[in-house]
Chains A and B, each alone.
Chain A
Amino acid sequence: MASKHTIATRHAQGIRARFASRFLRSLLRVRRSSNRFGGSQSNDEGIGKRIRTDRIKIAAYAAMARAVGPRRTWSRALLFKLRNRARIHGVSRKRCLVSEKKRVTRNKVVAISREPSRADTLRKLVPGGDSMDTCVLLEETAHYIKCLATQVTVMQSIADRLLL
Chain B
Amino acid sequence: MQPCSREMQGINSLLNPSSQIPLQDLQNQQIQNSHFDPNSSSNDDFLEQMLSAIPPSCSWPDLKSPWDLSMPINSNGNGNSAAKPRDLPDETDNTNVGFHNNFDESVILASKLRQHQISGGGSGAAAAAAKMMLHPQFLMASARGGLPQNDVIDVSSFKGGDGSIQELFNGFGAGSMNGTGQASSQSMQHFNHPQGGAMPAQNFGAQVAATTALMNQPQPSGSNGGAPAQPRQRVRARRGQATDPHSIAERLRRERIAERMKALQELVPNANKADKASMLDEIIDYVKFLQLQVKVLSMSRLGGGAAAVAPLVADMSSEAGGDCIQAGAKGGSLARPSNGSQTARTNDSSLTVTEHQVAKLMEEDMGSAMQYLQGKGLCLMPISLATAISTATCHSRSPAINNHHHPLLQPNGEGPTSPSMSVLTVQSATMGNVGGDGGAAKDAASVSKP
Interface of A with B (CB < 8 Å)? 1, 4-5, 27-28, 31, 35, 38-40, 42-44, 51-57, 60-61, 118-119, 121-122, 125-126, 134-135, 138-139, 141-142, 144-146, 148-149, 151-152, 155-164
Contacts and interface: CB of A to CB of B under 8 A. Distances in A.
Contacts of A152: 290, 293-294, 297
B299 interface: yes
Contacts of A163: 301, 334-335, 347, 422, 449
Nearest to A51: B304
A53 B333 CA distance: 12
Given A53-B299, A56-B303, A142-B263, A121 B284 contact: yes
Contacts of B314: 39-40
A162 B342 CA distance: 10
Given A145-B286, A160-B416, A155 B297 contact: yes
30 contacts: A31-B337, A31-B338, A39-B312, A40-B313, A43-B312, A53-B295, A54-B298, A56-B303, A57-B303, A121-B284, A122-B284, A122-B287, A135-B256, A135-B257, A138-B263, A141-B287, A146-B267, A148-B290, A148-B291, A149-B267, A149-B290, A152-B290, A152-B294, A157-B415, A158-B337, A159-B301, A162-B337, A163-B449, A164-B397, A164-B422
A42 B305 CA distance: 13
B398 A160 contact: yes
The interface residues of chain B, by DSSP majority, are classed as helix
Contacts of B288: 125
B235 interface: no
Nearest to A27: B337
Q: How large is the interface on B (under 10, 10 to 19, 20 to 34, 35 or more residues)?
A: 35 or more
Closest 4 CB pairs of A and B: A159-B301, A43-B311, A53-B303, A39-B315
Interface string B250-275: 00010011011111101110000000
Contact of B267 (A55, A56, A145, A151): A145
Interface in B388-444: 397-398, 400-401, 403, 415-416, 420, 422, 424
B32 interface: no
A144 B257 contact: no
B70 to A, nearest CB: 40
Nearest to B256: A135
A27 B266 CA distance: 32
Q: Among A57, A119, A142, A164, find the residue whose CB has the most chain B CB atoms closer than 10 A.
A: A164
A60 to B, nearest CB: 6
B335 A156 contact: no
A99 to B, nearest CB: 25
B25 to A, nearest CB: 50
Given A1-B263, A52-B304, A60-B294, 5 more contacts: A43-B304, A57-B298, A151-B294, A158-B302, A159-B297
Contacts of B266: 1, 5
A151 to B, nearest CB: 6
B76 interface: no
B280 interface: yes
Contacts of A27: 302, 337
A27 B304 CA distance: 12
Contact of B302 (A126, A135, A155): A155
